[in-house]
Amino acid sequence: MFLLTYLLTGLGSMKETLSNEEEIGFLFNVDILIKSRSNALALQSLLEFINKEEQIADFRIQSGIELGKIIEVTLQSKKDSFAFLHKERKKSQSNAKQKSSSPNQATASTVPVTPQSEIETPASQKAPSTEAPNITNANSFDVWIDTLIKENRLTRIVVNNKNGRHQSIPCRILNFDRDNSIVSVYHVDEKQVYTFRTNEIDEFL
């Protein structure tokens, strides 16, 4: 059994005999302790108790409501998961860029000695094993971006600008160019459209 405390601001009408016989409203701040099996049932009992009293003209519950906590935890967990996927995508893009820019001296030195067929076979076998996890993470991130675009959902990104400073932008995702890794966003505060590369975006919040 849970003991739940509510702060109730009630407007109670008390009759007072005046010359014009009018009713005067009086405002009370009340702490009410309700015993129940859950917060939701306690809230229901409180509302039923207040609503059946005709003299209570209006009321406002200031605190004590604990509904929606599970939803908040679920949404935060989902955001953390998507943020992790975005970081993994940036890491895979950075690794791919380093591989493409670094000279492959080892392969060049072995070409005159090793037959061509023996060089190509190990490369074709290694490619799927190293790239498969990155492809999976990239696909999950792409699906999440598509969901944000379709639902026109409000999100927040942290961008590393040219001066090396982090900038937090409340925005809606307008477009995602997968081939060039470019994200177009609408800044809801400045009412402008900005374009960023995915490696410039540190976090999705």
Give residue 124's pLDDT.
Answer: 44
Classify residue 84: in a domain, yes or no: no
Classify residue 31: in a domain, yes or no: yes
**Percentage of the chain surpassing pLDDT 70?**
69
Of 27-36, 46-55, 86-95, least confident by mean pLDDT is 86-95
Classify residue 145: in a domain, yes or no: yes
Band of residue 104 on the pLDDT scale cut at 50, 70, 90: low
Whether the pLDDT of residue 9 is over 50: the answer is no
Residue 53's domain comprises 2-15+23-63
Write down the mean pLDDT value for the chain. Answer: 73
Nearest of 194, 199, 187, 200 to residue 155 by alpha carbon? 187
Give residue 103's pLDDT.
Answer: 55
How is residue 92 written in tokens? 């895979």
Classify residue 71: in a domain, yes or no: no
Whether the pLDDT of residue 13 is over 60: the answer is no
**Taking the model in full, what pTM does it have?**
0.37
CB 92 within 8 Å of CB 48: no
CATH code assigned at 149: 2.30.30.100
The count of structural domains within the chain is: 2
Classify residue 166: in a domain, yes or no: yes
DSSP summary character for residue 188: T
* pLDDT tens column, 128-160: 444 444 445 556 777 888 888 888 888 888 888
- CA–CA gap between residue 108 and residue 112 (Å, rounded): 8
Classify residue 30: in a domain, yes or no: yes
Strand partners, 183: 176, 196
Q: For the residues 188-201, what does the mean pLDDT come to? A: 87
| Max CA distance (Å), the chain | 116
